[in-house]
A and B are shown apart, each in its own frame.
Chain A
Amino acid sequence: MAATEHPSYKVIGTRPVRPDGVEKVTGKAQYGADVRLPGMIHGKILRSPHAHARVLSIDTSEAEKVPGVMAVVTRADFPVAEDVVQDLGEGAVSVKELSDNVLASDKVLYRGHAVAAVAATSPHIAEEAAGRIRVEYAVLPPVLAVRDAMREDAPLLDEQRVTKEMGGQGSGRPSNVASHLRFAGGDVEAAFAAADEVVEREFTTKMVHQGYIEPQNSTASWNADGTLTIWTSTQGAFVVRSQVAEVLRLPVSQIRVIPMEIGGGFGGKIPIYLDPVAALLSKKSGRPVKIVMSRTDVFEATGPTSGSYIRMKMARKDDRITAVQATLAYEAGAYPGSAVGAGAMTMLSPYNIENFVIDAYDVCVNKPKTSAYRAPGAPAAAFATEQMIDELAKNAKLDPLELRLKNSAHEGTRMVNGAVFPRIGAEETVRAALTSPHYRSPIEGPNRGRGVASGFWFNAGLQSSVVASANSDGTVNLIEGSTDIGGTRASLAMQLAETLGLPFEAVRPTVADTDSISYNDVTGGSRVTFASGLAVYEAGQELRKEMVRRAAKLLGVDEAELVYEDGGVQSTRDATKRLRFSEIAAKAGQTGGPIAGKGAVQARGVGAAFGTHVVDVEVDPETGKVQILRYTAVQDVGTAVHPSYVEGQIQGGVAQGVGWALNEEYYYDESGRLLNASYLDYRMPTALDLPLIETVLVEVPNPGHPYGVRGVGEVPIVPPLAAVANAIAEATGHRFRDLPISPRRIMEETQGLA
């Protein structure tokens, strides 16, 4: 279905003010750090100054003597962690490793690794006391870069770890390589032999951070009845609940997690860090305990995304990309679980390439354990693929977008993991980029260049729950389990309003805690507007049916002659017999009691998201500074439920991608100390670094959703790294294959100033 055949929605596609907006522009919205409870005290975490060391002893006696200190916690206070693997909401997690990351046991594996915690009457006292805890370490050599960690003589983070091989036997030797995956199809060697051109290149990217402005925080109260209440900033309250339950070995029913407003996450607020520590400090002190991370803690100890090494060989015959051989190695950080598998699965997805072999390695290094970051794994992989395609296009004197179009994936194309695409809009995004005013405009002037790149990201389905209750005044309370990071109260309320034929303002969405709604997975995987949207649709359908049933009683007619339409119930036989939603709701007490609908889904029918970006840059040859002159992001968004927030997701993803391309990196010294653990030195884009970001919303409805919704949040970060690199290659005549393409790197590589 093309955009022109868009069904005539009444609410979907409009741009109402979000329901939580006024609270947020007036400073009244309550985020995690704003929690203040009677008797509340403050916790601070003591962190390792070493990147790799054995913990020999911890002496907390001096800390306990500091006036105002009310509790001290070390790993000895935790229950013994079971060495089992559980799916705690975002793939399989070893409970022992999760516990070890929350508070170290025998070893510290990165600088900033938590080792002990203090609770006191003020954060200053807690910090002072934490400094008096004596920890004896036996310092070990750290291994910091992915290729170093893969060497046979590398220091081992875990002497027991052997490589998990997919469908085969590993060497059985201890290794920092946690796993190896392979995706293969067709006959790569034959395709390389028959090719017109084969190019082989290496690419590297550095660890980068999600950079959310609100630091992690947690407030816990161990209640008199033995239950535990947690107020926290999280992408998934239920996922916090299950992780805390595993680490503290409590039944989930004993834990209530109250999700506060969340100040950004981008994947980084799925794992737990502080919650079990705050809980045990509360248990010991008998007081509610709040812990808020410092910005340095956030950089040093919360999930960045992997640094990577990628080697790639690509073949072209005529205008077809015929084969790819690739090796990806991603830094997992201290414990296994990088997104290298997703990198491997997504790197060729915009294309239909028959012959491929992709090897993916998940590698532990002495840096913080990585967590998800917007389309985890995909941007670094696309950085390689999209530069290779660009290079082949240039060599063959083909337009880089035309070459992409010729090789584009479409309905029926198989991904490297064997999944077959349903109706997708990959090709449509390339076409829209080709015809965009930006791409058709000339780019003139010295030191300027234009780059393009495409990208793909999955949508997640997973589980969502909502309850919609009709109020007597004709409004509807929508209770939802998905935390709202960037406007999903609005996008869900809009879908319910559309389903019920009510104005947007009639729906009042509320994000619930874990005692108040059934299970709900994380806000992640671009899934909320899609999957929780399906739950909302289901609840809306239930309400519609119930409204018909109640109207039949009120009108004294048979249900079979009634239909729900335009926000009310209408007789198909007698046009005068009609009741509005509000009229039926007002009389619920006379027709059978409260009227509610629920939606509880394991969402199926996920869409797939594609984007194609165009960027113009100017490179200052004297300083190496790159200015983004113009940026256009084209994306297949399925159906733009609230176009402003869809645009916002795209613009935000582009900004993060531009930062990743040009400036952002974790910068370590040889001992494993992060040298830029502040916003001044970890250089995220400011308003001055970016132009207005043009968006082109292509709407190819997802056949798996009643309103055609696709996830939109993640794919916009996939193309920018390569698009910017391709533009810089045009501007300078030099191709940069290592990120970030900082002024320093540009001067070194173009002026030989290394």
Chain B
Amino acid sequence: MARTYVQATINGVATDFLCEPRQSLLEVLRDELGLTGTKEGCNNGNCGACSVLLNGRLVNACCVLGVEIDGAEVTTIEGIGNPDRLHPLQQAFLEEAALQCGVCTPGFIVSAKALLDKEPHPDEQRVRYWLAGNLCRCTGYDKIVRAVLKAADDMEPARQ
């Protein structure tokens, strides 16, 4: 199948790649660009494990085609903090033990970042509502919700 040339900014880096029109953004990230932090749980938009930010908006990468991101900015888990400088959400997930198997964790962190970017002070119910598109089967969500609320608190001084 013919491949299309696509240019995009991914995690702040100008990137170009070739992809088949039928390849999803999730496939492109994982198979073409080696960004495997974005996970596949269902491939039909129900689990949120492939959450990424597309021009700042939260999307499921499995429901976007690779060719659609031409000219766009994409942020994946690899673009949110790194081992030397963790994002407050990542730090809070560690401290609050908000992960068990960890496979849904990148999606939750990307999704929670999208929330805190626009609403710095969500309450518990708002966090639960926002994260309802991300499935976790290990934790019962308790520690995830606490971690997001804690990260929101921790980020407070940085905003002032």
Contacts and interface: CB of A to CB of B under 8 A. Distances in A.
Interface stretch (A24-32, A55-63, A220-228, A530-538): A24-32
Interface of B: 1, 20, 22-23, 30, 34-44, 46-47, 49, 76-78, 81-83, 86, 90, 93-97, 99-106, 109, 124, 127-129, 131-146
A648 B20 contact: no
Contact of A679 (B46, B78, B95, B103): B46
Given A15-B97, A22-B83, A212-B101, A28 B37 contact: yes
Interface of A: 15, 17-18, 20-22, 24-31, 33-34, 36, 124, 210-215, 261-266, 292, 294-295, 485-487, 642, 644-645, 647-649, 651-656, 678-680, 684-688, 690, 692-693
B144 A25 contact: no
A685 B103 CA distance: 17
B101 A264 contact: yes
A29 to B, nearest CB: 6
A124 B22 contact: yes
A373 to B, nearest CB: 11
B41 A17 contact: no
B41 A215 contact: yes
14 contacts: A25-B102, A31-B103, A33-B40, A212-B101, A213-B136, A214-B101, A652-B100, A655-B137, A656-B137, A684-B137, A687-B141, A688-B132, A690-B128, A690-B142
A656 B90 CA distance: 25
B39 A263 contact: yes
Contact of B37 (A26, A36, A210, A656): A26
B101 A26 contact: no
B102 A687 contact: no
B132 A686 contact: yes
A232 to B, nearest CB: 14
A655 B141 contact: yes
Contacts of B34: 36
A678 B141 contact: no
Contact of B103 (A263, A266, A648, A686): A263
Contact of B145 (A29, A33, A687): A687
Nearest to B127: A687
B36 A25 contact: no
Nearest to B134: A687
B97 A648 contact: yes
Contacts of A34: 30, 36
B43 A295 contact: yes
B100 A645 contact: yes
B84 to A, nearest CB: 10
A686 B135 contact: yes
Contacts of B35: 27
A264 B137 contact: yes
B140 A655 contact: yes
B41 A648 contact: no
Nearest to B97: A644
A315 B56 CA distance: 63
Contacts of A265: 101
A22 B86 contact: yes
Contacts of A215: 40-41
A648 B102 CA distance: 13
Nearest to B101: A264
Nearest to B148: A687
Given A25-B90, A28-B37, A262 B101 contact: yes
A43 to B, nearest CB: 15
Contact of A688 (B96, B102, B128, B144): B128
Contacts of B46: 295, 678-680
A31 B78 CA distance: 15
A17 B104 contact: no
Contacts of B95: 17
B97 A292 contact: no
A485 B141 CA distance: 17
B145 A692 contact: yes
Contacts of A213: 39, 41, 47, 49, 101, 103-104, 135-137
A246 to B, nearest CB: 28
Contact of B47 (A210, A486, A642, A679): A679
A654 B136 contact: no
A680 B143 contact: no
A210 B135 CA distance: 13
A30 B39 CA distance: 11
Given A22-B83, A295-B43, A693-B140, 4 more contacts: A24-B105, A33-B30, A679-B44, A686-B131
B139 to A, nearest CB: 5
Contacts of B20: 124
Contact of A648 (B86, B105, B143): B143
